[in-house]
Structure 1
Amino acid sequence: MILFGVRSPLIVDVEETLFRCHIAVTAAVSISGVPRLQDRSRLVDLAAFGAPAGSPFLATAFAPRRRRALAEQALALGLVPAPALIDPTAVLPRHLRVGAGSFINAGVVIGAAGLIGDHVLVNRAASLGHHVLIADFVSIGPGATLAGNIRVGEGAMIGAGATILPNVRIGENALVSAGAVVRKHVPAGALVAGHPATLVSAAPGRSSLDMDDGE
């Protein structure tokens, strides 16, 4: 497994899951910023990186935009997304598709009949109900709760401890603030916050909510 981009605090959780899954790191590629790895024995700069085409990678950024950018860089080098990395402490149903390049962190619980896209992050102790549909490059923060029949559009981000009530749709690239309680559909590109969640901005653009530390 090649870890691509290692400046996000998320990387330490990825390392722990790889250890529990007995998966070896062949290289940890530093793109920019300060690496946050615990084990730097495989750390290399992008300029010095070389790996055979077809080698599997995992883009480790928390923010969807940053993770997408890392994935595009890795693909341009001929790497391929690794199979989903799922922590052994996560509780998953028998029939669940988790896409390539995704990371399911420790303590996550997912209900039956769901679908998780590619390059998705589901962070520590998040809970996803039955029939959830999570599109590509979504980030779900630690302790977030998504009830049944939730749809989350590509590139959206759900903050830590947020609650999404049943049958709600979260649009593409939308941002749900930490601790928000969402009872209604969220338009694409919108930022919502509060209890109950209300619209803060219809087009927040680049926000501190979707940036990695040190970016």
Structure 2
Amino acid sequence: MKTARILLAAFFFFEFAPAGAQLPPSNLQFLQAALRACAAEPVATLAAVPDSLIVIARVPAGAESPGRLLQNALTEIIRAQNRQGVFDRETVSRKGIAVNYAVVQAQLTYSRLPGGWLGWLRTARAQRSAQVAVDFDVHHESTGEIYFQGLVQIVHRDTVQAGQIAGLENTAVPMTVGRWVERERTHRWLEPAVLVAATGAIVYAFYSLRSQ
């Protein structure tokens, strides 16, 4: 049967076609993008404020941390607005807009996705999530006026091949190492059912071809 041959050929093409060699953004870049999105909201409230001096809370020197990534993101965004961004330890008498923050959450997680058509034949896929929450306090040090105060939460998600995850992490930087979480219970019975149906379709196509 000509139709069966076409379906069988298409199936094996999509199941066994090699995945692209290009890696997605590393976990460090992925987390950095989430923190940058988190920093954009409070800084955006300063668009109409004429003061050009913005005093950014400094993160203690040391290893890479979510706080340091956030500090870098704030600095880039502020300087992109043609403002002068300085750190609180670099100035004592100079007054301006203070940007204080505390990273409440910054974590990476993976959850296994359904393999689709015969997922055991394909490279397993996973959903990668970066959950970030930062408490901001943006105010004027001279007048005490508050421009922004509160918690900003961001969740970034994408899909990666499970076999790529080791290459996306950097064990020397703990914040880039994600943890696996269980996917929804409904998928536990759904994927085996799809697997059985797909297997049946292949067996049917195989014997149909033999009968020709």
Structure 1 and Structure 2 fold alike (TM over 0.5): no
| Greater RCO (Cα-Cα under 8 Å, separation 6 or more) | 2
Structure whose CA Rg is larger: 2
Looking at secondary structure, tell me which structure has more helix per residue: 2
- What range describes the TM-score normalised by the shorter chain of this pair? under 0.3
- TM-score scaled by structure 1? 0.26
- TM-score scaled by structure 2? 0.26
